[in-house]
Amino acid sequence: MTDEKVPHPWIADWLGERSWSAPGEPQSEFLVFDTEADCQPFKIIHDRDMMFDHGALVQDYNFIDYFFGDEAKPIRARHYLGDDHVSVSYESNVPAKTTAEAASHLPAEVLAYLQHRFNRIDVLMAEGYQEIWPNPA
């Protein structure tokens, strides 16, 4: 890697480095952003759901689930491989009414962990998933 610091495309004040290039080759376009997030998921599961109709594959979901917080009532963040965002759900009987309320239930360290990995975070609310980061429209 080089000593040149490169700004992250959607997280303010987060600088990364260009990846290593072999001598005589043009500078790599790959960027590396390391995170030192305090929060780590207590469990990560990679799974795949496949749905068939009379033997024909009709839906194929390849995803990773991240589990944070209390194992009895975890915060689950699901990322479908190939998507650029993550969808968060809470084990709660009362869904949030506003995106601000939904965001307030997400601990700052979990938010930071997800921000460093995805360019959008959605949260399950009464009317479905709503964007809470970056700034919802």
Tens digits of residue pLDDT in 19-62: 777 788 877 776 676 666 667 899 999 999 999 999 999 999 99
Alpha-carbon span 136 to 95, nearest angstrom? 18
How many domains does one find in the chain? 2
Asked if 90 and 121 sit in the same domain, the reply is: yes
Query: 34 burial class (0-12, 13-18, 19+ CB within 10 angstroms)?
Result: exposed
Asked if 15 and 48 sit in the same domain, the reply is: no
Alpha-carbon span 78 to 33, nearest angstrom? 21
Predicted confidence at residue 93, as pLDDT, reads 62
Instruction: Answer whether residue 74 shows pLDDT above 80.
Output: yes
Predicted confidence at residue 136, as pLDDT, reads 56
Asked if 47 and 113 sit in the same domain, the reply is: yes
Bridge partners (DSSP) listed for residue 102? none
Asked if 64 and 119 sit in the same domain, the reply is: yes
SS3 20: coil
Asked if 112 and 129 sit in the same domain, the reply is: yes
